[in-house]
């Protein structure tokens, strides 16, 4: 595996799924529709979990669609080469996915009524998830050591650049009524309450029984067993299935099994420095 990337407006992208032309189209020409919902995340924040939740909400708890259609076809990454051709088969209201930072997101979004659900996660857990994922995904830098990879993450030297900049960029929208943010930790803590909040945000009314079905079919266990959602059908040029699985652990706090005390303290120091201007408190800051 090699680490091959190019820069688009200063952001690192993998040439496997992106090109300057595709990103330029995504930023400047892509037509956002007023009833679109975008899931926006930094990688490993719980993107696919949110796709599953929104797919099930769209289907009012019926898992047939999730059990028969690949997850990335249900909610394509609108800024990728593959995604741009997959979108034409997506029914409205479209749920589309993106890892783009704020400053290069679709310009037409900002004059539309479309909505964004931004999923965040404790960055220490993101890092651990990314560390393992990078060993199996062919487009990412293969981590040589935990220590070096951690430094790359903290300095924003990986694909999509810095987690800190991603969050700070998108948090500029946090007071807009078409922007909703939620954390992976909240989803873990009370998925049912989160599904209700998400339904309210997108204006979808589901009765209690249907909410229960959404919760049931978007559990870690259900997704891990669903071959349409667990990435076991991803091709070998994308994921090396001999090295690990996409649905890895699905827990909060796994960083405690990986970080030394010194690494955690160093992470906290960089975190405090980079996040000091944001004036927001996230509950992982206390853990």
Q: Please, what is the minimum distance in Å from the beta carbon of residue 39 to ligand A3P?
A: 9
Angle at 96 between CA 91 and CA 99, to 5 degrees: 165
The C-alpha atoms of residue 85 and residue 62 are separated, in whole angstroms, by 26
Query: Pick the catalytic residue: 99, 132, 166, 217?
Result: 99
The C-alpha atoms of residue 265 and residue 124 are separated, in whole angstroms, by 11
Q: Please, what is the minimum distance in Å from the beta carbon of residue 29 to ligand A3P?
A: 26
| Closest CB to ligand A3P among residues 43, 101 | 43
139 in catalytic set: no
Q: Please, what is the minimum distance in Å from the beta carbon of residue 28 to ligand A3P?
A: 26
The answer to whether residues 77 and 97 touch, using CB atoms and an 8 Å cutoff, is: yes
The C-alpha atoms of residue 156 and residue 14 are separated, in whole angstroms, by 15
Residue 31 burial (C-beta neighbours within 10 Å; 0-12, 13-18, 19+): exposed
Q: Minimal CA–CA distance to 181: which of 191, 192, 167?
A: 167
- Cis, peptide link before residue 163, omega less than 30° from 0: no
Q: Please, what is the minimum distance in Å from the beta carbon of residue 52 to ligand A3P?
A: 6
User: What is the per-residue burial (b if ≥16 Cβ within 10 Å, else e) of 97-111?
Assistant: bbbbbbebbbebbee
| Closest CB to ligand A3P among residues 36, 52 | 52
- Using CB under 6 A as the criterion, which residues of the chain lie in contact with ligand A3P when the complex forms? 41, 43-49, 125, 129, 132, 218-220, 223, 247-250, 254
| Closest CB to ligand A3P among residues 28, 189 | 189
| Closest CB to ligand A3P among residues 107, 135 | 135
User: What is the per-residue burial (b if ≥16 Cβ within 10 Å, else e) of 254-284?
Assistant: bbeebbeeebeebbeebbeebbeeeeeebeb
Q: Please, what is the minimum distance in Å from the beta carbon of residue 1 to ligand A3P?
A: 18
- Say which DSSP state 176 is in: S
| Closest CB to ligand A3P among residues 27, 125 | 125
Q: Which residues are designated catalytic?
A: 99
């Amino acid at each position: 595996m090699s680490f091959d990337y190019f820069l688009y407006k200063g952001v690192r992208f993998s040439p496997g799924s992106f090109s300057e032309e595709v990103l330029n189209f995504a930023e400047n020409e892509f037509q956002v529709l007023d009833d679109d919902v975008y899931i926006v995340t930094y990688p490993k924040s719980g993107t696919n979990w949110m796709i599953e939740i929104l797919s099930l909400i769209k289907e009012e708890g019926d898992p047939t669609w999730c059990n028969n259609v690949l997850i990335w076809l249900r909610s394509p990454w609108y800024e990728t080469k593959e995604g741009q051709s997959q979108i034409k088969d997506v029914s409205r209201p479209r749920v589309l996915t993106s890892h783009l930072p704020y400053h290069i997101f679709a310009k037409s979004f900002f004059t539309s009524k479309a909505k964004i659900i931004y999923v965040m996660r404790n960055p220490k857990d993101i890092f651990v998830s990314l560390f393992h994922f990078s060993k199996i995904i062919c487009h990412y830098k293969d981590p040589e050591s935990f220590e070096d990879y951690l430094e790359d993450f903290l300095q924003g030297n990986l694909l999509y650049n810095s987690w800190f900049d991603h969050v700070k960029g998108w948090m500029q929208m946090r007071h807009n009524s078409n922007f909703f943010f939620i954390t992976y930790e909240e989803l873990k803590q009370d998925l049912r309450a989160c599904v209700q909040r998400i339904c309210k945000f997108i204006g979808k009314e589901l009765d209690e029984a249907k909410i229960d079905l959404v919760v049931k079919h978007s559990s870690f266990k259900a997704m891990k067993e669903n071959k349409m959602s667990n990435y076991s059908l991803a091709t070998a040029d994308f994921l090396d299935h001999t090295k690990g699985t996409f649905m890895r652990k699905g827990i909060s706090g796994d960083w405690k099994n990986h970080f030394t005390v010194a690494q955690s303290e160093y992470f906290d120091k960089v975190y405090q420095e980079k996040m000091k201007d944001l004036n927001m408190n996230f509950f992982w800051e206390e853990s």
